[in-house]
Chain A
Amino acid sequence: MSNALATSFAHLHVASAYSTHYGVTLPEALAEQAAAQGANFLAVTDRDGLYGAVKHVRACEIVGIRPGLGAELAVHDEEYRPLGRVVVLAHGHTNGRGYAALCRAVSSAHDGSAGQRSALTPGSTGPSISRDRLADLAGLASLTVLLGPDSDVGLAIARRDNADAAARLIHWRRALPAQAVVLEIVCHLAESGTVGSVTPATRMLALAENAGLPAVLSNAVRYGTPDEAVTADLADAARFLLPLAELETPQTNGQAWLKPAGAMRQVARMVVDAGLHDDGALERLLRDTEQLADRCSLDPVLDIGLGRPRMPEARIIGVTGDPVTELWRRATSGIADLYSMSGSRAVEAAHAQLAHEMKTVEHLGFASYFLTVSRVADIIRGMGIRIQARGSGVGSVLNYALRTSSVEPIGNGLLWERFLSPERQTLPDIDIDVESARRHDIYREVFRAFGSDRVSLMSMTNAYRGRGAVRDAGLALGLPDAQINVIAKQMWRFNARDFRRALEEKPELEALAAEVRESQQLDLLVDLTAKLDRLPRHISVHPCGVILSDASLLDRTPVQASGMGLPMSQYDKHDMDPMGLIKLDILGVRMQSAMAHAVEEHHRLTGESIDLDRVPLDDPKTFELIRSTRTLGIFQIESPGQMELVGKLQPEVFNDLTVEISLFRPGPMKNNMPLKYLQARHGEVAPDYIHPRFELILRETNGVVIFHEQVMRLFDELTGCGLGKADVFRRHLGKPEQLPEIEEYVRERALARGFSVAVIDQVWTVLAGFGSFGFAKAHGAAFALPTYQSAWLKTHHPAAFLAGLLTHDPGMWPKDLIVAEARVLGVPVLPLDVQSSALDYRVEDLADGSQGIRLALPELAGSTEMERARIAQHQPFSSLQDFRDRVHPRRRTFEALARVGALDTFIGYDRARRHELLAHIQSLRGTAVVIRADQLAFEVELPVPQYSGDRAGAITSLELRGRTQTDLELQDLNLAVGSHQMKRFHALFKELGVTPASELGNLPGGTEVLLAGVRRATNTPPMRGGRRVVFISLDDGTGPVSNVVFFHDAQERVGGHVFQTNYMLVRGRTRRSGARGVSVTGENLWDLFDVARQVKERHTVERVAAEEAASAAAYAAELAAQPAALLSSRPGGTLHHLNAAQSA
Chain B
Amino acid sequence: MQVFLTIAHQVFIIITRHEPREYTLPQIIDAPVDVELSPDGDPRAFIWNRFEHTVIGQPQAVFKRTRWWEDEGTPTRIDTELWRLDASRGGEEQHRYDLRRGIDGSWTLALDWG
Report yes or no: A273 in contact with B10, Cβ–Cβ below 8 A: no
Contact flag A270-B7 (CB < 8 Å), given A244-B69, A524-B74: no
B40 CB contact (under 8 Å) in A166, A203, A266: A266
Provide the bound-state CA to CA distance between A253 and B11, in Å. Answer: 24
> B50 in the interface, Cβ–Cβ < 8 Å?
no
Interface residues of B in 66-109 (CB under 8 A from A): 67-70, 72-79
A189–B11 touching, CB < 8 Å: no
Query: Which chain A residues (154-186) contact chain B, with CB distance < 8 Å?
Result: 160, 162-163, 166
Given contacts A199-B14, A255-B63, A266-B41, contact A233 B78 (CB under 8 A): yes
Q: Per-position contact with B for A226-270: 1 when CB-CB < 8 Å, else 0?
A: 110110010000000000110000111111000000110110011
Interface string of B41-75 (1 = CB under 8 A from A): 11000000000000001101111110111101111
Which chain A residues border B60 with CB–CB below 8 Å?
189, 198, 270, 273-274
A270 near B58 (CB under 8 angstroms)? yes
Q: Which residue of B lies closest to A265 (CB)?
A: B40
A191 close to B62 (CB less than 8 A): yes
> Are the CB atoms of A276 and B42 closer together than 8 Å?
no
Chain B at the A interface: mostly helix, strand, loop or mixed? mixed
Docked-complex contact B62 and A162, CB < 8 angstroms:
no
Given contacts A162-B11, A189-B61, A270-B60, contact A262 B78 (CB under 8 A): no
Pick from B8, B58, B70, B73: contact of A162, CB below 8 A: B8
Partner of A210 from the list B7, B68, B75, B79 (CB cut-off 8 Å) is B7
- What's the count of A-B pairs with C-beta under 8 Å? 104
**Smallest CB–CB gap between A1085 and chain B, Å?**
37
- Are the CB atoms of B13 and A276 closer together than 8 Å? yes
Q: How far is the CA of A476 from the CA of B67 in the complex (A)?
A: 12
Contacts of B58 in A (CB 8 A): 269-270, 273
Say yes or no: A274 contacts B14, CB within 8 Å. yes
Task: Give B36 Cβ to nearest chain A Cβ, in Å.
Answer: 16
Chain A residues near B41 (CB-CB < 8 A): 262-263, 266
Q: Which residue of A lies closest to B42 (CB)?
A: A266
Chain B residues closer than 8 Å to A162, beta-carbon distance:
4, 7-8, 11
Q: Provide the bound-state CA to CA distance between A263 and B37, in Å.
A: 13
Known: A210-B3, A263-B41. A230 touches B8 (CB 8 A): no
Query: In the bound complex, how far is the Cα of B61 from the Cα of A262, in angstroms?
Result: 14
The dominant DSSP class at the A interface is: helix
Name the residue in A162, A190, A198, A252 with the highest tally of chain B Cβ atoms < 10 Å from its Cβ. A162
Q: Nearest Cβ in chain A — how far from B78, in angstroms?
A: 4
Assembled-state Cα–Cα distance A252/B18 (Å): 21
Complex: how many Å from CA A206 to CA B10? 8
Give the residues in chain A near B70, CB-CB below 8 Å.
245
**In the complex, chain B residues whose CB is within 8 Å of the CB of A106:** none
Q: Name the B residues within 8 Å of A250 (CB-CB).
A: 65
Q: List chain B residues, Cβ under 8 A from A255.
A: 63, 79
User: Range of interface residues on chain A?
Assistant: 35 or more
Contact in complex: B74, A477 (CB < 8 Å): no
- Distance of A156 from chain B, by nearest CB (Å): 11
Are B78 and A270 in contact, CB atoms less than 8 angstroms apart? no
B6, CB-defined interface residue at 8 Å: yes
Cα distance, A1119 to B40, chains bound together (Å): 86
Q: Does A192 contact B (CB under 8 A)?
A: yes
- What is the CA–CA distance of A166 and B61 in the complex, to the nearest angstrom? 29
Contacts of A189 in B (CB 8 A): 60-63
CB distance from B55 to the nearest CB of A (A): 13
Partner of A245, one of B18, B40, B67, B74: B67
Known A190-B63, A270-B58; judge A230-B75 contact (CB<8 A): yes
Determine if B4 and A163 form an interchain contact, defined as CB atoms under 8 angstroms apart.
Answer: yes
Given contacts A253-B64, A255-B63, A524-B73, contact A230 B11 (CB under 8 A): no
Question: Considering the chains assembled together, what is the distance between the CA atoms of A477 and B74 in angstroms?
Answer: 12
Considering only CB atoms, which chain B residue lies closest to A273 in the complex?
Answer: B58
Interface pair B67/A203, CB less than 8 Å apart = no
Taking a contact as CB atoms under 8 Å apart, the answer to whether A253 and B78 are in contact is yes
Q: What residues of B have a CB within 8 angstroms of the CB of A229 in the complex?
A: 77-79
A537 at the interface (CB under 8 A from B): no
Q: Which A127-175 residues have a C-beta within 8 angstroms of B?
A: 160, 162-163, 166
Q: CB-CB < 8 A to B6: which residues of A?
A: 206, 210
Q: How far does the Cβ of B19 sit from chain A's closest Cβ, in whole Å?
A: 10
Residue A771 interfacial (CB < 8 Å): no
Interface residues of B in 1-40 (CB under 8 A from A): 3-4, 6-8, 10-11, 13-14, 18, 40
Chain A: minimal CB distance from B75 (Å)? 6
Q: Is the CB of B78 within 8 A of A191?
A: no
**One of A192, A210, A254 near B65 (C-beta < 8 A):** A254
Residue on B with the closest CB to A530? B74
Complex: A211 Cα to B2 Cα, angstroms: 11
Contacting residues, chain B, for A252 (C-beta < 8 A): 65
The answer to whether the Cβ of A528 comes within 8 Å of any Cβ in the partner chain is yes
- Find chain A residues with CB under 8 A from B76 CB: 226-227, 230
User: Which residues of A sit under 8 angstroms from B8, Cβ to Cβ?
Assistant: 162
Cα separation A190 to B84 with both chains bound (whole Å):
12
Q: Does A429 belong to the interface (CB within 8 Å)?
A: no
The reply to whether A253 and B65 form a contact with Cβ atoms under 8 Å apart is: yes
Residue in B closest to A202 when the chains form the complex, CB atoms:
B14
The answer on a CB contact under 8 Å between B3 and A166 is yes
Q: CA of A233 to CA of B79 in the docked complex: distance in angstroms?
A: 12
B62: min CB distance to chain A, Å: 6
- The distance in angstroms between the C-alpha atoms of A198 and B62, with both chains bound, is 9
Which residue of chain A is the closest to B10 with respect to CB atoms?
A: A276
- Chain A nearest CB from B100 CB (Å) reads 14
Q: Which residues of B contact A476 (CB under 8 A)?
A: 69
Chain A residues, Cβ within 8 Å of B40: 262, 265-266, 269
- What CA separation (Å) do A720 and B18 show in the bound complex? 81
Q: In the complex, what's the smallest C-beta–C-beta distance from A281 to chain B, in angstroms?
A: 12
C-alpha spacing A203/B10, complex, angstroms = 8
Chain B residues closer than 8 Å to A163, beta-carbon distance: 4
Contact B65 A207, beta carbon cutoff 8 Å: no
In the complex the two chains form, is B11's CB within 8 Å of A227's CB?
Answer: no
Tell me, in angstroms, the Cα distance from A253 to B55 when the chains sit together: 26
* A516-550 residues at the B interface, CB under 8 angstroms: 520, 524, 527-528
A269, B13: Cα distance in complex, Å: 18
Q: Are B65 and A230 in contact (CB under 8 A)?
A: no
Q: Which of A182-219 contact B (CB under 8 A)?
A: 188-192, 197-199, 202-203, 206-207, 210-211
B4 touches A253 (CB 8 A): no
Q: Are B64 and A191 in contact (CB under 8 A)?
A: yes
A275 at the interface (CB under 8 A from B): yes
A227 touching B63, Cβ below 8 Å: no
> Is A251's CB under 8 angstroms from B65's CB?
yes
CB-CB < 8 A to A254: which residues of B? 63, 65, 77-79
- Chain B residue nearest to A233 (CB atoms) is B78
Contact of A192 among B7, B10, B62, B67 (CB under 8 A): B62
A190 and B75 contact, CB distance less than 8 A: no
CA distance A191 to B74 in the complex (A): 24
Which of B4, B41, B42, B73 has the largest number of chain A CB atoms within 10 A?
Answer: B4
CA distance A270 to B7 in the complex (A): 18
**A440-478 contact mask (Cβ, 8 Å, vs B): 1 or 0:** 000000000000000000000000000000000000110
| Chain A: CB-nearest residue to B63 | A253
CB neighbours of A191 from chain B (8 A): 62, 64
With A203-B10, A262-B41, A275-B14 known as contacts, the answer to whether A226 contacts B61 (CB < 8 A) is no
Complex CA gap A203/B13 in Å reads: 12
Q: Are B10 and A207 in contact (CB under 8 A)?
A: no
Give chain B residues whose Cβ lies under 8 Å from the Cβ of A188: 63
Task: Identify the 3 closest CB pairs spanning chains A and B, nearest first.
Answer: A273-B58, A253-B79, A527-B74
Additional 9 contacts, C-beta under 8 A, given A190-B63, A266-B41? A190-B64, A191-B64, A203-B10, A226-B77, A227-B76, A251-B65, A263-B41, A273-B58, A274-B14
Can you pick out 23 interface pairs between chain A and chain B where the beta carbons lie within 8 Å of each other?
A: A160-B11, A190-B63, A202-B14, A203-B11, A207-B7, A210-B6, A227-B77, A229-B79, A230-B76, A253-B63, A253-B79, A262-B40, A262-B41, A266-B40, A266-B61, A269-B42, A269-B58, A274-B60, A275-B10, A276-B13, A276-B14, A524-B69, A527-B74
